[in-house]
Amino acid sequence: MSKPVCIEDLPVFDMAEQLRNDEDIAEYLSMVLEDGDIDELLRALGYIAKARGIAQIAQDSGLERESLYKALQAGSHPRFDTIHKVLKALNFELRAVRHSSIHSSIHL
């Protein structure tokens, strides 16, 4: 019979530790963007910034470190230019991609 696992004995999961390279980051960011949840996007950008080094991202984006922390927490309402600066500092960009609709393949 297996022994019950105590929550305190489990290792702490840190998403930033899972983001080891640009491919990991791009895949993660794409999944988050696909979901369309702004709070999750902000959290994801925070994890990515942590993985890359928050101080470096703050410097590269031209934002104060404390402002960056505040902007990248769920529930905040950062301006689009802030998100754009962070993405640029991370060496990523947003692109509009036309997706095919299920309705476009239906012929009436």
Q: What pLDDT, in 10s, does the model give residues 28-63? A: 999 999 998 999 999 999 999 999 999 999 999 999
Q: What is the pTM of this model?
A: 0.79
Report the C-alpha gap between 83 and 64 in whole angstroms.
14
> What is residue 3's predicted lDDT score, i.e. its pLDDT?
82
Domain ranges across the chain: 16-91
pLDDT band at residue 95 under the 50/70/90 scheme:
confident
Q: Which amino acid is at 54?
A: I
Reduced to 3 states, what is the DSSP secondary structure of residue 14?
coil
Residue 107 or residue 51, greater confidence: 51
pLDDT tens for residues 10-31?
A: 888 888 888 889 999 999 999 9
Write the CB contacts of 77 (distance below 8 Å, at least 6 apart in sequence).
Answer: none
